[in-house]
Structure 1
Amino acid sequence: MNEKITAAFEDVPVCASVVGVAKVPDFVAAASRVGILASVPVGQLPKIVAALAGRDKLVFVNIDSCPGLATDRAGVDFLQEIGAAGVVSTRVAPIERARALSMLTMHKVFVTDRSNLNRSLEAVKRSGPDLVELMPAPIIPWMSAAAREVMSPFVAAGFVTDRDGVAHSLAMGAAAAASSDPGLWSLTRSRLRTGEE
């Protein structure tokens, strides 16, 4: 796994899914160092990305979900120019472009059935991302060890709603768990081990 990502998840193994501008202050206040910005209008991205980067946050932008942001080469180039550390997408092309620009990459994958899993595995092999955002988290135990290996390192996402969900995701081999619940964004590995609230 990329050294920056490993270091960012060392203490807090939770990736903040920051959906919308209203959740940005919660991420600023949280101990989590890694966040995915989603549903943030393109005009607000430069200011938000700069503010978060200034707080030592590793900011990925979900290029598929931000209104006004193109999912093409120009969109990825724009994210690099404003200082986003990485790009998240369900598509191979933006991931490949971000890799060419030496940005961090996260390939978002929805596993709904076996045929979909096989297509997802092929897409991840093509894109070669730094991380896979694997959704939904409850499907992970049903995947073969070989499939999990192809998807690794991965962030378990979707239906991670409490500390047990985070712990289970890590036990299944996830590098971290992603959640939109700010209550989990400061959950440390030591608190998970000790059961401390």
Structure 2
Amino acid sequence: MKGFQIAAWMATIAVCAPGSTVASGPFDPDELVRLADRYCLGPDGDHEWTWALATHDGFSPLSPDGFSGLRLPAARQLRGFEKTIDGAKVRILTANNRISGGGVGRSYFHLCWVSAEPTDRRSVDAALRSFLDVGRIRQEGAFAYLWIPQDDGTRGRVSRKSFNLRGHALAREEGMRMALTNNVGLMVAVTYMRAVDDCADWCY
């Protein structure tokens, strides 16, 4: 796709380095999707809203040591939270980033992740697919779900062909949203991306 290989770097994100957990079994995939909706899809790129919700719900801010092992090139304004739920380590991460390439310009994004460890990638992906009810495409190690919000509250599907040909334009001009699933070992993350126009405080 022209300059929009989101999974080329998205799939390497560890959403903070995996650590020890006390869960006796995998974290409920439907609950992980519910948390992703609460902290990422619901706020729709409004990071201050995400932070306020996380604080209200008893998440603790991550210290710089909590980001060891994180690989997110060119990220700005990185912030994270952590909480143990049902014995599993649940983390929320927000950042701003850009995607460039191929003569199609540069797009800026607000990104949000919710991860749980341990849980099952396949089950989380199935739960997210059912929740969103839109098509998906595969990019390297990640499944990407693409849609354009409609006036009636539904999600308009984006075809693989349209995404490949017009990914930047769809994100910048038509408000395309993106959600992805990926994993590092037993840590599984749901990622949400929304293009933004105003990046005066972090553009580079």
Q: Name the TM-score class by shorter chain.
A: under 0.3
- TM-score with structure 2 length normalisation? 0.27
TM-score by length of 1: 0.28
More helix as a share of residues: 1
Larger RCO (CA under 8 A, 6+ residues apart) = 2
